Amino acid sequence: MAIAFVRYTSIGAPSLPQWGVLFDRHIAPLPEPHATTGELIRHGIAAARGLTRAHATVPCDAVRLLSPITENQQFLCQGVNYGSHVRESGMDPADMPFNTFFTKASSSLSGPFDDVIRPPHVRLLDYEIELGLVMGRDLDRGVTVRPDALHEVLAGITIVNDVSARDVQLPQGQFYKGKSYRTFGPTGPVLLWLEPSEWQRWPELHMQLHVNGQLRQDTYCRDMIHPPHATVSEFSALQNLSAGDLIATGTPAGCAAKAPGKVPMWVARHFLSEPLKWKLFIQGGLRNPRYLQPHDLMTLSIRTDDGALDLGQQRTEVKQG
């Protein structure tokens, strides 16, 4: 059975972050501290297996839940990895045979109920629900991962909101800069450690993101173009990976940012200067009510429809920096 890990601190009394296993609204603390997500995965699984509901003595209302991914871990990302998102961006999935990779700063990681701070110069703030894959072991060489062997390289999954400043990311052509401001990576609430057979259910995971109660994104993970085994294989061929590293696997349709359509794109490409094109893009975005505003509340969930795999619910409010 899957294990729902949470990382937390006590409310009111300062305390070092602790790990525990979630049972409904109570937490069973792990007996040993683990400073990082990697240490939890390397040394905490056996102890977690021995915890039961009877050990769950810490009520969730008495703690602050933190990101289950610690800042020492890599924050790796895929772009344009859902067919629905590719199509809404004005492209054809058949024309996207390659896997698009980028990174976010680990300092952008924040807790599942922490505020998202919009920097003063950002006006087009967007959301992206994503399934986060958490590495289960160190890889210092390229490996070829079979579709039925995800458990050999991955530990678990978590919810990621890839918050993005579109008026930085797109006009400047800088994914890292537009997506790496502090608080732009809400993660959790749980790191769901999966049994080998449970990994085969990843296509059934149902992703939903609401803004102020309005459903914005609603897709199953089976819509991925490049599945997890292919992504881990390709990342491992490029760079070293460590237990606890996070891979955000892309977002489905429903973001605030929309492609203007083939005709406007053709006109912009052939008749507008780059500065004018992006000036018009920002002006159009300012009229788009779907971009996030201060006090907007984002609610994210990922689970199978039968509830057997449930990553919890993430709730974050936008605040003006």
Which residue ranges form the domains of the chain, and what is each CATH number? 3-66 (no CATH), 75-320 (3.90.850.10)
Q: What is the pLDDT of residue 277?
A: 61
- Signed CA dihedral, 81, 84, 88, 91: sign only: positive
pLDDT at 268 over 60: no
| 196 residue type, one letter | P
pLDDT at 23 over 90: yes
Give this prediction's pTM.
Answer: 0.94
What phi-psi label fits residue 263: left (phi over 0), alpha (psi between -120 and 50 degrees) or beta?
A: alpha
Please give the Cα distance from 22 to 55 (Å, whole number): 10
DSSP 167-195: HHHHHHT-HHHHH-STT-EEB-S-EEE--
Of 85 and 165, the structure prediction assigns the larger pLDDT to 165
Please give the Cα distance from 169 to 261 (Å, whole number): 19
pLDDT at 202 over 80: yes
Q: What is the pLDDT of residue 208?
A: 98
Cα separation values, 25 from 22, 116, 157, 250, Å? 7, 24, 20, 30
Contact (CB, 8 A) for 296 and 211? yes
Please give the Cα distance from 163 to 161 (Å, whole number): 6
pLDDT at 260 over 80: no
Work out the number of other CB atoms within 10 angstroms of the CB of residue 10: 14
pLDDT at 5 over 50: yes
pLDDT tens string 166-189 = 999 988 889 999 999 999 999 999
Q: What is the pLDDT of residue 124?
A: 97
Overall average pLDDT of the 258-286 stretch = 65
pLDDT at 207 over 90: yes
Q: What is the pLDDT of residue 133?
A: 98
Please give the Cα distance from 199 to 111 (Å, whole number): 25
What phi-psi label fits residue 89: left (phi over 0), alpha (psi between -120 and 50 degrees) or beta?
A: alpha
| Least-confidence region, from 26-30, 126-130, 234-238, 259-263 | 259-263
Please give the Cα distance from 43 to 316 (Å, whole number): 31
Q: What is the pLDDT of residue 263?
A: 44
Q: What is the pLDDT of residue 99?
A: 93
Overall average pLDDT of the 2-31 stretch = 94
Please give the Cα distance from 125 to 103 (Å, whole number): 18
Which percentage of the chain shows pLDDT scores above 70? Answer: 95
| Structure-token pair, residue 54 | 């009877």
Average pLDDT for the chain: 93
pLDDT tens string 106-158 = 999 999 999 999 999 999 999 999 999 999 999 999 999 999 999 999 999 99
Pairing of strands 75-79, 154-161: unpaired
